[in-house]
Structure 1
């Protein structure tokens, strides 16, 4: 699905990631850990084609990012849902319209899809907040709206960058449950997080592989996590 082959990425004259090889298998569940500034967000951006590696190859669904046009990348990213660390919404549009934006942009905002939107908002617990504006939402509600927007196109892969970083433990557990449910539905999930408590909680619910970025390289984390 997503494959990195001896990938390196340099930023500002220094190498941030080096010699990374990794293959994301269908239906797998991964955590990505590492200290702040280690390159977790950069790694995720490489995984959805927002960045091109300095060296090595990134393949998205068997296509090398280097050979893909911007339109090709945009079309491929419909198969990858991303929950960004810094959640951005259009503040003048209600929650339902913000979640539906990927449908609108792709020309799929017809009646069947809008019915799915209402069901999706119910699934993330935001049905009663469908008409609220983003500034009116709590941190947890914003993260759930971001997750709904990421999966509205029914992607094969979900990449979440610190999705529980700004919410309390109860809400982080709720968000984790939603991501685990998506994985059980066959979606491939990767969560970047430094929260070891969250990772330990996830490993009681799903077979999760834990990866760690350290010294510019990707390692399989120890079994003590």
Structure 2
């Protein structure tokens, strides 16, 4: 689904990532860890085509990112749901409209999707907050809303950048469980996190592979996590 072949990425005159190769298979579950500044967010951006590698190749669903035009990339990104670190909501719109934004942008009939939208909001435990504005939400509610928005188009791959970074342990477990359930529905999931306790908690729930970025390269983490 996503293949990285010997890619490197440089920024500001220095190489941030180097000699990275990875294949995300359908239905797989990955964690991506590493120290702050190691390049986890950059790595995820390369995985969904927001950045183009300095060298090497990124292939999304069989297409090289360098060969994609704007329309091709827009269609491709509907197949990849991204949960950003900062959530990026429009504060003047209620929660339900923020979650529905990908439907509007893609030209889908939001009214026809109303039941699916309500079901998704309920699944994330946000029915009682659907008309609240983003500034009125707690950190956990914002993160669940970000996940709902990322999956509203039923993507095949979900990339989550520190989805539990600003919530307490109980809420992090709830978010983890939602991502595990999505994986059991056949979605490919990758979570970037520095929280090793979260990774340990996941290992009893789902078969997962743990990757670590260190010294610009991608490594398979050991069993000591």
- Fold shared, TM-score > 0.5 on shorter chain: yes
Matches within 5 A, 1:178-189: 178-189=178-189
Partner of 2:8: 8
Is this contact kept in 1: 2:29–2:207, CA < 8 A? Answer: yes
SS at match of 2:177: helix
Q: Measure, in 1, the Cα distance between the counterparts of 2:33 and 2:6.
A: 19
Scaled by the length of structure 2, the TM-score of the pair is: 0.99
Task: Tell me if structure 2 keeps the 8 A contact 1:100–1:109.
Answer: no
Question: CA–CA distance in 1 between the matches of 2:89 and 2:111?
Answer: 23
Q: 2: CA distance between counterparts of 1:113 and 1:48?
A: 25
1:69 maps to what in 2?
69
Secondary structure (helix, strand or coil) at the match of 2:166 reads coil
| 1:185 CA drift (Å) | 0.3
Q: 1:131 and 2:137 equivalent?
A: no
Q: Can you list the C-alpha shifts for 1:119-164, whole angstroms capped at 9, x where unaligned?
A: 0000000011110000000000000000000000000000000000
- The alignment of Structure 1 onto Structure 2 pairs a total of residues equal to 225
4+ aligned runs moved over 3 Å, structure 1: none
CA contact (8 A) 2:27 2:186 kept: yes
Alignment of 1:174 onto 2:168: no
Once residues 50 and 110 of structure 1 are traced to their aligned partners in structure 2, the CA distance between those partners, rounded to angstroms, is: 26
Residue equivalent to 2:111: 111
Deviation, structure 1 residue 181: 0.3
Structure 2 unaligned runs (5+)?
A: none
2:54 corresponds in structure 1 to: 54
Q: Whole-Å Cα distance in 1 between the matches of residues 110 and 94 of structure 2?
A: 18
For 1:1-225, list aligned pairs within 5 A.
1-225=1-225
Deviation at 1:72, TM superposition (A): 1.1
Deviation at 1:87, TM superposition (A): 1.1
Q: Distance in 1 between matches of 2:109 and 2:131?
A: 17
C-alpha separation between the residues in 2 aligned to 1:112 and 1:119?
A: 13
Output the CA distance in 2 between the equivalents of 1:49 and 1:216. 19
Per-residue CA deviation, residues 2-48 of structure 1 (Å, 9 max, x unaligned), is 00000000000000000000000000000000000000000000000
The CA distance in 2 between the partners of 1:126 and 1:190, in whole Å, is 23
> How far apart are residue 110 of structure 1 and its match?
3.7
- Give the whole-Å Cα distance in 2 for the aligned partners of 1:85 and 1:135: 16
Give secondary structure in 1 for the equivalent of 2:189. strand
Q: CA RMSD in A?
A: 0.6
Offset of residue 71 of structure 1: 1.8
Q: Equivalents in 2 of 1:194, 1:89: separation in Å?
A: 24
Q: In terms of mean alpha carbon deviation, does 111-120 or 15-24 score higher?
A: 111-120
Give the conservation status (yes or no) of the 8 Å contact 2:160–2:192.
yes
3-state SS in 2 of match to 1:93: coil
